Chain A
Amino acid sequence: MHISEGILSTPVLAGGGVIAAAGVYVGLRSLNDEDIPKTAMMTAVFFTASLVQVPAGPVSMHLVLNGLMGLLLGWSAFPSILIALTLQAVIFRYGGLTVLGVNTLIMACPAVLVHILLSPFLRMAQSRARVLVVGACAGLLGIAGGMAFVALAFVLTGRSMYGVAGLFVVTHIPVLLVEGVFTAAMVSFLWRMKPELIESRSYVT
């Protein structure tokens, strides 16, 4: 879920960069030195997971997992996502440097939203069914939020992008559904395998 180079207007690119920098700053503040190896490991895991293709009907798609990152990383999702996107930009030459800020916001803002809205419920969830529900909501919110930010970036760029924004939202509805199911499965797996990951306030911060 990212926007390519060369599409957005300068104010959108610049604004995205500034807001993302602020988010990364908050995220880094919430980390202490001891947390760095763990957060880095999570970043690497999410990067690796984003390379996995899962079939969705006739096509296959990559996982985004920003909702899950929100649940597990809290505010450090910001630096973590920034790094994952930088690595993607460098290694695979995806959406590159100028859109890095906007693309970070697209994934990280919903992640932090998930952290604020859903983490308390996850900590209170006592049954597998509830964990599944919270997980599904995290997946849905992560992608829906991302779609909203993409649409916003297009719309702020200008009228010429309205059609593209619509196309983006429509083509990402399958992603939304798959991520919902997938995040629910992930969270319930982690809840059973390593409950401390889920129960602590947020694992890293």
Chain B
Amino acid sequence: MSEVLFKLNELTVRYGNEPPVLRNLSMDLVKGSRIGLVGRNGSGKSTLLSALVGLMDDFDGELWAFGKWRRDDSDFAEVRRRAGLLFEDPDDQLFNITVSEDVAFGPFNLGWPRERVITAVRDTLARLDLSGYEERITYRLSTGEKRMVSIATVLAMDPEVLLLDEPTAGLDHRHTRLLEEILKQSSKTLLVVSHDRDFLASVTNQTIQLENGQAVYL
């Protein structure tokens, strides 16, 4: 029996006073599992990923992550260091001036020494075929380039779990293949939202569908 990294118990999440987006949702994310998350537009996939790292302001139900029940914002600080969330919109993720500064932001927050951060930035950019982008200004990148840099900002933190929200949206064929290879070779736990069935089939081995706020294993 492998270790359970995330456990959701009757999780209910809503925005403001609207009807809940996730309703009494229960699911486990086991260490080493590779899960594809699918569902219609607006079914709550992005909401679920945010909730996992405690970014939904309030939720009902219980959430277990990395060995503890988590409730308050302070409980989630550790979760956010250990699980990397790629946002659906790269404009949410990038706000520093240059690409290398943005990639370094997360590792600095983890408290790594400068040399290690510099190495991580260089290596991550190289892995993602972004060498030469170090001093580019993030705000002037194309949509696909922004996506690749966002992915770099998450991978650079070397998280144990990758929560990826539509990582291939806007990527050309070559970059999609590259990302596919990287994820296939990695042994990290994966939860990937994507509308690209082929991509999901090649990087994950299990599928969960969100339907009416609940998780259905396919």
Interface secondary structure of A, over-half rule: helix
- Using a CB-CB cutoff of 8 Å, which residues 57-111 of chain A contact chain B? none
Contacting residues, chain A, for B139 (C-beta < 8 A): 193
- A121 adjacent to chain B (CB < 8 Å): no
- A25 adjacent to chain B (CB < 8 Å): no
Contacting residues, chain B, for A189 (C-beta < 8 A): 97
Interface Cβ pair total, 8 Å cutoff = 6
* Min CB–CB distance A48 → chain B (angstroms): 14
- A172 adjacent to chain B (CB < 8 Å): no
CB-nearest residue of chain B relative to A189?
Answer: B97
Interface size class of B (residues with CB under 8 A): under 10
Contacting residues, chain B, for A193 (C-beta < 8 A): 97, 137, 139
CB-nearest residue of chain B relative to A192?
Answer: B97
Interface secondary structure of B, over-half rule: mixed
CB-nearest residue of chain B relative to A194?
Answer: B139
- Using a CB-CB cutoff of 8 Å, which residues 179-193 of chain A contact chain B? 189, 192-193
| Partner-B contacts on A (CB < 8 A) | 189, 192-193
CB-nearest residue of chain A relative to B96?
Answer: A189
With A and B bound together, what is the CA distance between A193 and B139 in angstroms?
8
* Min CB–CB distance A135 → chain B (angstroms): 15
CB-nearest residue of chain B relative to A188?
Answer: B97
With A and B bound together, what is the CA distance between A180 and B97 in angstroms?
21
* Min CB–CB distance A54 → chain B (angstroms): 16
* Min CB–CB distance B141 → chain A (angstroms): 13
* Min CB–CB distance B136 → chain A (angstroms): 12
* Min CB–CB distance B104 → chain A (angstroms): 16
With A and B bound together, what is the CA distance between A189 and B139 in angstroms?
12
* Min CB–CB distance A79 → chain B (angstroms): 28
- Using a CB-CB cutoff of 8 Å, which residues 97-120 of chain B contact chain A? 97
With A and B bound together, what is the CA distance between A192 and B138 in angstroms?
11
- Using a CB-CB cutoff of 8 Å, which residues 107-146 of chain B contact chain A? 137, 139
Contacting residues, chain A, for B137 (C-beta < 8 A): 192-193
Provide 6 A-B residue pairs closer than 8 Å at the C-beta atoms, listed in order of the A residue: A189-B97, A192-B97, A192-B137, A193-B97, A193-B137, A193-B139
* Min CB–CB distance B98 → chain A (angstroms): 8
* Min CB–CB distance B176 → chain A (angstroms): 30
* Min CB–CB distance A201 → chain B (angstroms): 23
With A and B bound together, what is the CA distance between A24 and B197 in angstroms?
58
* Min CB–CB distance B52 → chain A (angstroms): 25
CB-nearest residue of chain A relative to B139?
Answer: A193
With A and B bound together, what is the CA distance between A193 and B101 in angstroms?
13
With A and B bound together, what is the CA distance between A192 and B137 in angstroms?
9
With A and B bound together, what is the CA distance between A192 and B135 in angstroms?
12
A-B complex: 4 closest residue pairs judged by Cβ atoms = A192-B97, A193-B97, A193-B139, A189-B97
With A and B bound together, what is the CA distance between A189 and B97 in angstroms?
7
* Min CB–CB distance A47 → chain B (angstroms): 19
* Min CB–CB distance B108 → chain A (angstroms): 16
With A and B bound together, what is the CA distance between A202 and B97 in angstroms?
22
* Min CB–CB distance B130 → chain A (angstroms): 20
